[in-house]
Amino acid sequence: MAYLTLFVIAFGAATLLPLQSEAVLVGLQLSGYPAVPLVLVAGVGNVLGSTVNWCVGRAIERFRGRRWFPATDAHLERAQRSYRRYGRWSLLLSWAPVIGDPITLVAGVMREPLPRFLLLVGIAKFGRYAVLAFTVRASS
């Protein structure tokens, strides 16, 4: 049940939901769960959640300009300009709070190929969890 909880929270945290998967991972690790399975479960959940953002980004263009749509044309243009400037390498920052989730959404809008998206986001997400787990282990 603990691994399922971690997966669901890591998945949700990668979307625009305000969830903290790092706290759950650390708590489980301090409770005696081994680091490697925790990193794998959190990483897979987080990458899949980011893939949802990518899919939303791919589909977002058809809703542009509707009254209920949460982003203005100016917001989308600014995000696209930023992505074009920093390119796919910005996906390596997809682990970062605040900016990471929007980057994955913009990657979908910019039609970043899914295999390259998964590779770069996977490096970022798994890397963050691995560093976190190693830090907890080293300080315990």
| pTM for the full predicted model | 0.86
- How many of the other CB atoms lie within 10 Å of CB of 7? 21
Residue 30 CA to residue 67 CA, distance in Å, equals 47
Segment 31-50, tens digit of pLDDT? 999 999 999 999 999 999 99
- Residue 83 contacts residue 103 (beta carbons within 8 Å): yes
| In the predicted structure, residue 16 carries a pLDDT above the cut 80 | no
